[in-house]
């Protein structure tokens, strides 16, 4: 027996699907995925990210800008240093799932 979906429920599902697609699009880039993995280990400054991941300017700045625009990371300034940390609970959960299935083999 199928229960019909109301128009309001359909609109809500469509909006959620749109949000999920945006997240998956951001995660589909290897550099952004690696940045989120590294930042997920704890707050990191640009120099630490560059050294750990071997991602250099301008690519590093471009990818961090995408992550900031999509509100997946937040920044904190300390003098001349900018530190990045994870900001999205959904992204944290997705990264945890990906780590479990792809990195812990």
* Domains of the chain, earliest start first: 7-103 (1.10.10.10)
pLDDT tens digits along 39-72: 999 999 999 999 999 999 999 999 999 999 999 9
How are beta strands 44-45 and 73-78 bridged, if at all? unpaired
Q: What three-state secondary structure class fits 29?
A: coil
Determine how many CB atoms are found less than 10 A away from the CB of residue 23: 16
- The whole-model pTM stands at 0.86
Asked if pLDDT for residue 2 goes beyond 90, the answer is no
Alpha helices in the chain (DSSP H): 7-27, 30-40, 46-53, 59-69, 89-98
Contact 59, 73 (CB under 8 A): no
Contact 89, 95 (CB under 8 A): no
Share of the chain above pLDDT 90, in %: 77
């Amino acid at each position: 027996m199928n229960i019909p979906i109301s128009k309001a429920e359909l609109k809500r599902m469509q909006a959620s699907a749109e949000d999920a697609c945006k997240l998956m699009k951001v995660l589909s880039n290897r550099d952004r995925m690696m940045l989120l993995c590294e930042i997920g280990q704890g707050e990191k400054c640009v120099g630490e990210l560059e050294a750990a991941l071997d991602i250099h300017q301008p690519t590093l700045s471009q990818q961090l800008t995408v992550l900031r625009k999509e509100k997946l990371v937040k920044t904190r300034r300390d003098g001349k240093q900018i530190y990045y940390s994870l900001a999205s609970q959904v992204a944290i959960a997705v990264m945890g799932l990906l780590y479990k299935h792809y990195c812990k083999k």
